[in-house]
Amino acid sequence: MAKLREPLREIAECGLPAALEAVGERWSFMILRASFNGVHHFEEFLSELSIARNILSGRLSKLVEVGILKRTPSPDDRRKIIYQLTDKGLDLLPAMIALRQWGERWETGVPSNPVLCDERDRRPIKPVSIRAHDDREIDHQGLCWIDECELRERGRDGENQAVKKLAAI
């Protein structure tokens, strides 16, 4: 039986175009990188990134609009705005790390310095990888597309088998 192929024309049903629409622009990624590094104020972004005011303003507005950043007034000075990553924004960290690691390997050829490490053990993190349900690392050859209906059916079969095993005890 041939493997099911992802329906490439059905853009609305794919998360990738939606994700790229939200953050798929260089300056947006640089703003997110700065946010992950503790930058929170417009002027900080401006000086750290050397970005034009109008571009920064537009990108921050877009990231707030799509719920990746939130804007809150500073408790110290209500005229100053704090930009913070939301849970939705924090969930981008693995993708950001994967893109960075890819860039180091294939584009710059230079590892990052400072090195991103596990805070507890102070050891470098491993390359981001694709993990199977049982935590095996798999590559592109270990992937296939399966129709959602088939997965639901498999789920029911698994539940039915578990119930049968319990009943036999």
Tokens of 121: 């053990």
Same-domain pairing of 127 and 87: no
Question: Which range of residues forms the domain containing residue 110?
Answer: 99-169
46-63 in b/e form (b: 16+ CB < 10 A) is eeebebeeeebeebbebb
Residues 111 and 47 in one domain: no
Residue 2 lies in a domain: no
Residue 84 sits in the same domain as residue 130 = no
DSSP state of 12: G
Model's pTM, two decimal places? 0.82
Find out whether the peptide bond into 114 is cis, omega within 30 degrees of 0: yes
Among 90, 86, 103, 126, smallest CA distance to 26 is for 103
Least confident span in 43-47, 115-119, 163-167 = 163-167
Structure tokens at 108: 């710059």
DSSP code, position 120:
T
Instruction: Decide: helix, strand or coil at residue 4.
Output: strand
Summarize pLDDT for 115-149 with one digit per residue, the tens. Answer: 999 999 999 999 999 999 999 999 999 998 888 88
Q: Which two tokens stand for residue 39?
A: 């930058």
